């Protein structure tokens, strides 16, 4: 498809012309500056994430504009959520190009769609972090070239993960964008991006991709964690500030002699984390309690390892961190030795209370009760159980059980999900369950090995919710962020 925006001199675009797949020319009127093409409307608007335009049809009475009221202008499939709080707007985007064409064609189409969504927010926005799911490692250099050409010096932290999109596309992109009207974004290096806003400082860091296929999994993981530590130190941070970690391991369930690669990753993670004072986190309510980051450990093609993390620094008195464990599951760090000589060191979720709202980062979740895989061989039941595990993990009862009365979230508060599907033939069943349980939500489905051979699906996500019981006034007054 080719799209042309037609304007009068001194005015914004009046209409767009595009050729569709049948090579027919269509003219789409651009109704007003506040109009949003229905193909680019958000799936979810969380907290106070309205567009800020008084006559926006998407915000009126919570109703979505009818599809025939807006012109279709772009072909890329996209789903995104708009999240607003404390005068700040964030967008979680999931973009998948239409099937067909070369990898470069599909990549440019996806980039163009991200650009269109960002530009329709009626305020300056910047993309801070993105994960690019590619079907083949051979396509990564082309993707790197295209993204570098588009973003230039404002290159978001970008991970290229070799996990083929389940729908057959050459790539899919998860991206996060933030309003720069009140936030400051600094692109410090290809592996480090920081965002400061209202006394808060978020840090996106990565150790890059380690492709040393001849190195044992333990050595790879040790090197990767040291790389993360170096990136954090460059930003003036440490692992005590880390809330969320992502680990993409090639051949995650393969054996190295008598040892499974994921178990060796867990051994290296434990040895590394033992060097970090996780019992003295600045944002923890109770000092002396070991708090591990939320985490996803998922398989990729090849034999390499890629890592990234999200950290938060602040001196605000109304910001706190709470790890969540699932009442249906044994904590991963308490797994018996038959699962790993040294157990996986992560929390099932990490909740961040900021003023009167909560962001809950949900670790990779699967069909496990206590410490055992259930519904072996049945992807439908495993997907159902996985979503139920997430639901119980973030509900108000579990927050209260963990010490935060008045907090909690529901499945409707999820801004986006990633769904990792082990077998391509299970994709349709898995997606049907997710759509039935979760409704319309930004999602990417990627083919990936899960950390146990008998697990067929894994889901991660992030939820944004309001406190039902506001904090006392003396805890709501922010103080300057020492790190900003």
pTM given for the model: 0.86
CA 200 to chain centre: 19
Given this model, what pLDDT does residue 87 score?
A: 87
CB neighbours (10 Å) of residue 409? Answer: 27
Return d(Cα 466, Cα 157) in angstroms, integer.
28
Give the pLDDT band of residue 383 (cuts 50, 70, 90). very high
Q: What structural domains does the chain harbor?
A: 1-30 (no CATH), 35-182 (3.30.1330.40)
Task: Quote the Cα angle for 386-392-393, to 5°.
Answer: 85
pLDDT per position as a tens digit, 314-367: 999 999 999 999 999 999 999 988 777 899 999 999 999 999 999 999 999 999
Residues 6+ away with beta carbon under 8 Å from 105: 97
Return d(Cα 381, Cα 370) in angstroms, integer.
17
- SS3 label, residue 389: helix
**Would you say 298 and 265 are in contact if contact means Cβ atoms under 8 Å apart?**
no
Give the pLDDT band of residue 48 (cuts 50, 70, 90). confident
CB neighbours (10 Å) of residue 287? Answer: 10
In this predicted structure, the answer to whether residue 482 has a pLDDT above a threshold of 70 is no
Strand partners, 77: 96
**Would you say 351 and 320 are in contact if contact means Cβ atoms under 8 Å apart?**
no
Percent of the chain surpassing pLDDT 70: 82
Return d(Cα 178, Cα 435) in angstroms, integer.
27
Return d(Cα 26, Cα 6) in angstroms, integer.
13
In this predicted structure, the answer to whether residue 2 has a pLDDT above a threshold of 80 is no
pLDDT per position as a tens digit, 262-298: 999 999 999 999 999 999 999 998 788 999 999 999 9
Return d(Cα 176, Cα 166) in angstroms, integer.
21
Report, as an integer, the average pLDDT of 295-318: 96
What beta strand segments (E) does 21-145 contain? 25-29, 44-47, 77-85, 88-96, 125-134
- Reading the block at residue 301, the tokens are 């093609």
Return d(Cα 387, Cα 7) in angstroms, integer.
47
What letter would DSSP give residue 476? T
Strand partners, 361: 350, 462
Q: Which helix (H) or strand (E) holds 229?
A: helix 217-234
Task: Quote the Cα angle for 207-213-218, to 5°.
Answer: 65
Lowest mean pLDDT among 31-45, 213-227, 319-333, 401-415: 31-45
Assign residue 238 a region (left: φ > 0; alpha: ψ between -120 and 50; beta: otherwise): beta
Give the pLDDT band of residue 222 (cuts 50, 70, 90). very high
Report, as an integer, the average pLDDT of 41-49: 85
In this predicted structure, the answer to whether residue 423 has a pLDDT above a threshold of 60 is yes
Given this model, what pLDDT does residue 372 score?
A: 96
**Would you say 448 and 298 are in contact if contact means Cβ atoms under 8 Å apart?**
yes
Report, as an integer, the average pLDDT of 467-484: 47
- pLDDT, averaged across the chain: 86
Residues 6+ away with beta carbon under 8 Å from 71: 16, 28, 29, 30, 37
Given this model, what pLDDT does residue 49 score?
A: 66
CB neighbours (10 Å) of residue 40? Answer: 18
Given this model, what pLDDT does residue 339 score?
A: 73
Cα radius of gyration (the chain): 22
**Would you say 91 and 128 are in contact if contact means Cβ atoms under 8 Å apart?**
no
In this predicted structure, the answer to whether residue 416 has a pLDDT above a threshold of 50 is yes
Report, as an integer, the average pLDDT of 133-159: 97
Percent of the chain surpassing pLDDT 90: 74
In this predicted structure, the answer to whether residue 411 has a pLDDT above a threshold of 90 is yes
Task: Tell me the C-alpha to C-alpha distance, in Å, between residue 421 and each of 91, 164, 417, 458.
Answer: 25, 10, 13, 7
In this predicted structure, the answer to whether residue 421 has a pLDDT above a threshold of 70 is yes
Return d(Cα 473, Cα 318) in angstroms, integer.
9
Residue 350's Cβ-side half-sphere holds a number of Cα atoms within 13 Å equal to 25
In this predicted structure, the answer to whether residue 31 has a pLDDT above a threshold of 80 is no
Strand partners, 249: 299, 305
| Segments in 138-216 forming alpha helices (H) | 140-151
In this predicted structure, the answer to whether residue 154 has a pLDDT above a threshold of 60 is yes
Lowest mean pLDDT among 140-144, 315-319, 360-364, 468-472: 468-472
Give the pLDDT band of residue 36 (cuts 50, 70, 90). low
In this predicted structure, the answer to whether residue 473 has a pLDDT above a threshold of 60 is no
In this predicted structure, the answer to whether residue 62 has a pLDDT above a threshold of 80 is no
pLDDT per position as a tens digit, 327-342: 999 999 999 887 778 9
Return d(Cα 315, Cα 479) in angstroms, integer.
6
By the 10 Å C-beta count (0-12 exposed, 13-18 middle, 19+ buried), 9 is classed as exposed
**Would you say 368 and 388 are in contact if contact means Cβ atoms under 8 Å apart?**
no
- SS3 label, residue 298: strand
């Amino acid at each position: 498809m080719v799209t042309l925006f037609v304007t009068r001199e001194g005015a914004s675009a009046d209409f767009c012309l595009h050729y569709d797949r049948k090579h027919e020319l269509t003219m789409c009127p651009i109704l007003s500056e506040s109009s949003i093409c229905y193909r680019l409307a958000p799936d979810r608007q969380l907290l106070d994430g309205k567009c800020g335009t008084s006559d926006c049809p998407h915000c009126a009475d919570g109703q979505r504009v009818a599809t025939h009221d807006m012109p279709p202008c772009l072909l890329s499939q996209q789903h995104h959520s708009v999240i607003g709080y404390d005068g700040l707007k964030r967008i979680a985007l999931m973009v998948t190009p239409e099937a067909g064409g070369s990898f470069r064609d599909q990549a440019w189409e996806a980039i163009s769609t991200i650009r269109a969504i960002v530009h329709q927010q009626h305020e300056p926005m910047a993309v801070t972090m993105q994960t690019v799911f590619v079907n083949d490692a051979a396509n990564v250099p082309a993707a790197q070239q295209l993204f570098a050409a588009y973003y230039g010096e404002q290159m978001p932290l970008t991970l290229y993960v070799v996990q083929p999109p389940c729908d057959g596309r050459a790539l899919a992109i998860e991206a996060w964008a933030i309003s720069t009207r009140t936030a400051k974004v600094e692109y410090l290096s290809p592996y480090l991006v920081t965002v400061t806003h209202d006394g808060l400082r978020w840090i996106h860091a990565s150790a890059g991709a380690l492709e040393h296929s001849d190195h044992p999994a333990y050595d790879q993981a040790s090197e990767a964690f040291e790389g993360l530590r170096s990136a954090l130190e460059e930003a003036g941070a440490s692992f005590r500030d880390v809330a969320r970690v992502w680990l993409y391991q090639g051949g995650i369930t393969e054996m190295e002699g008598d040892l499974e690669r994921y178990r060796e990753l867990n051994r290296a993670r434990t040895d590394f984390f033992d060097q970090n004072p996780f019992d003295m986190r600045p944002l923890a309510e109770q000092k002396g309690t070991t708090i591990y980051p939320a985490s996803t450990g998922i398989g990729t093609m090849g034999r390499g390892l890629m890592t990234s993390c999200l950290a938060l620094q602040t001196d605000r008195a109304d910001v706190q961190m709470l790890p969540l464990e699932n009442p249906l599951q044994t904590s991963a760090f308490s797994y018996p030795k038959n699962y790993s000589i040294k157990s996986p060191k992560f929390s099932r979720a990490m909740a961040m209370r900021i003023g009167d709202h909560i962001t809950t980062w949900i670790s990779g979740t699967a069909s496990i009760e206590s410490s055992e895989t259930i519904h072996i061989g049945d992807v439908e039941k495993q997907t159902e159980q996985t979503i139920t595990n997430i639901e119980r993990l973030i509900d108000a009862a579990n927050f209260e059980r963990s010490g935060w009365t008045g907090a909690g979230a529901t499945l409707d508060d999820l801004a986006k999900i990633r769904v990792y599907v082990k077998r391509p033939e299970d994709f349709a069943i898995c997606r049907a369950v997710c759509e039935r349980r979760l409704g319309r939500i930004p999602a990417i489905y990627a083919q990936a090995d899960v950390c146990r051979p008998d697990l067929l699906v894994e889901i991660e996500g992030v939820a944004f919710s309001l406190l039902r019981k506001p904090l006392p006034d003396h805890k709501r007054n922010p103080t300057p962020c020492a790190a900003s």
